[in-house]
């Protein structure tokens, strides 16, 4: 049996841009994607800590080192510049692997620069 497991999380990233005119997704700094083992086009869940909203979307890779966290398209209605969000990715794996799997947690500062990993 396969289980869907929390794979990684970017903890309390700050939204730097909201682009309603773009056709959906979230743009994330490539440094953060690499650290969290998230790839372009991967489905992620966004949890807005300021207003409680949750949504699922897909990832676009942003400029490396930019600190970019941009909500695009309809997602721009769920978060505004300055909001703190969690970016969570999931993976499917066999139950025997899921019970021993350790997710990655990436901690960032107010400029979305990595300050720690767990």
Active site members: 25, 58
Which of the 8 DSSP states describes residue 73?
Answer: G
For residue 115, what are the β-bridge partners? none
Give the C-alpha separation, 4 to 99, whole Å. 11
CB neighbour list of residue 10: distance below 8 Å, 6 or more residues apart: 28, 32, 35, 36, 38, 86, 87, 106, 108
**How far from 18 is each of 4, 28, 84, 104, CA to CA, in Å?**
29, 12, 13, 26
Paired tokens of 81: 């510049």
3 state SS of 96: helix
């Amino acid at each position: 049996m396969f289980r869907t497991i929390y794979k990684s999380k970017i903890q309390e990233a700050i939204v730097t841009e909201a682009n309603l005119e773009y056709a959906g997704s979230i743009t994330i700094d490539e440094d953060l994607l690499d650290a969290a083992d998230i790839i372009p086009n991967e489905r992620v869940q966004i949890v807005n800590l300021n207003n409680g909203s949750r949504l699922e979307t897909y990832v676009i890779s942003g400029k490396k080192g930019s600190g970019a966290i941009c909500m695009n398209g309809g997602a721009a209605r769920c978060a505004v510049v300055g909001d703190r969000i969690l970016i969570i990715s999931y993976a499917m794996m066999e139950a025997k692997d899921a019970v021993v799997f350790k997710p990655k947690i990436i901690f960032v500062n107010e400029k979305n620069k990595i300050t720690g990993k767990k």
